[in-house]
Every structure is written in C-alpha cells, then in structure tokens.
C-alpha cells in the first residue's frame, strides 16, 4: 500500500491506496504537467510532492488576493454609498 500523509502540528491526515494505483496516478500527473522523463521512483515522488505543494501555495495566494480585492471593493463601495457591504 502507498500513502500520502500530511501533518500540521497535532493534526495528521492520511490517504492510502494500492501501489499500482498511486504509481499510475503519479506517472499520469507527471506526464500531464510535462515533467522530466527517466526519473527514478524516488525522483518521481519528490517531483510530484513538490508540484503538489506549489499548487496548494498558488491556490492559497489566489484566495488571499481575492479576499483582499473583495475587502477593498467593499470598503470602496461603503465610502461611495455610506452602506456597509461586508
């Protein structure tokens, strides 16, 4: 069995699946994102995890930007209309 475990402080989450399923998932992901060919299993796992972390960071940054934009828009609307739009 293969597993992906994320631990943040005292909280741990684990997803487990069969080795063949996870190997195919990692290979397909690497191919979809034009990852390098000829990697060892360890290099594939490292590449997959690094890109997964980057996707999470990009999503978090996007959410922060949207929240700031929404907050700025609400503040501007309140200044113009005198109403609280939050």
**Any idea where the domains of the chain sit in the sequence?**
2-81
For 12-58, what is each residue's pLDDT tens digit? 999 999 999 999 999 999 999 999 999 999 999 999 999 988 888 88
Angle at which helices 19-32 and 41-81 cross, to 10°: 60
What pLDDT does residue 58 have? 85
pTM given for the model: 0.65
Q: Who's near 12: CB < 8 A, 6+ residues apart?
A: 5, 6
CA dihedral of 18, 22, 24, 29, whole degrees rounded to 10: 160
């Amino acid at each position: 069995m293969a597993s992906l475990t994320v631990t943040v402080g005292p909280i741990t989450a684990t997803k487990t699946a069969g080795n063949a399923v996870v190997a195919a998932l990692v290979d397909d992901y690497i191919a979809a994102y034009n990852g390098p060919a000829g990697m060892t299993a360890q290099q594939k796992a490292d590449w997959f995890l690094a890109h997964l972390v980057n996707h999470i960071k990009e999503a978090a940054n996007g959410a922060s930007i949207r929240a700031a934009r929404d907050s700025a828009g609400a503040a501007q609307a309140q200044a113009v209309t005198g109403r609280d739009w939050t």
